[in-house]
Amino acid sequence: MNKRFEKSKNNKGITLVALVITIIVLLILAGVTLSMVLGPNGIISRSKDAKEQTEQAALNEQTMLHQADNFINEQLNEGENPEEPPKEISFIISLETYTEQEGMTWEEWVNSSYNNNQIVWQVSGSSISATVASAGLRIDNVTSTDVIIANYSYTYTASHSGGAID
C-alpha cells in the first residue's frame, strides 16, 4: 500500500502558478475580443457604417432611377407640351375670315365650334358646302380630308336656284 500512496504523491496537479497564468491569458484574450467588437474600428462600428452606406446607396439608386424615368418620359413626349394650348390660325373664304385650330381638316373644322360665322358650312361627301338663301355654296378645290392652310384665301362657287345671293 505504501507504493500506491507514493505514486499518488508523485502525481502533481495544477499548481497555483499555472492557474494564475491561465487566468491572465484568458483575461488578455477577453480584452482583445472586447476591443475588436466594441472599439472605434470594431465590428459593431463598422457594421453601423456599412448600414449607413447601404441606405445612402439605395437612396442614390432611387434618385437615379427617378431621373432616368423622367428622362425617358421627356424623350417619349418630345415635342408634346400638354400645358401649351393648340395654336389658332385664320384663313379666308371669299373675303370672310374664319379661325381654326392649327392642323385641322375641313371635316374637323365644319364639325367644331370654330364653324360659327353667319354661313354654316357642311361636309357633303368629300366636298365642303353651305346653303345661303336659295344659293348653294361650295369651296373650290378642297376635300373634307384636306388640312386647312393658315392665312390662305379660299374661294367658293355659288349655284343659284332663284332669289338673290346675299
pLDDT digits (tens, 9 = 90+) for 89-109: 887 877 778 888 888 888 888
Residue 148: count other Cβ atoms within 10 Å of its Cβ.
22
**The amino acid at 9:** K
82 Ramachandran zone, left/alpha/beta (phi>0; psi -120 to 50): alpha
pLDDT value, residue 165: 45
Q: Confidence class of residue 85 from pLDDT cuts 50, 70 and 90? A: confident
Q: What's residue 128's pLDDT?
A: 78
Instruction: Tell me the pairing of strands 156-160 and 135-139.
Output: antiparallel
H-run or E-run covering 24: helix 16-38
Q: Outline where DSSP puts E strands in the chain.
A: 88-93, 96-101, 122-124, 127-132, 135-139, 153-154, 156-160
- pLDDT (tens digit per residue) in 29-65: 999 999 999 988 889 999 999 999 999 999 889 989 9
Q: Is the pTM of this model over 0.75?
A: no
Cβ contacts of residue 41 below 8 Å, gap of 6+?
none
pLDDT per residue over 112-161, tens digit each?
877 776 677 777 777 777 766 556 778 877 888 888 888 888 777 777 65
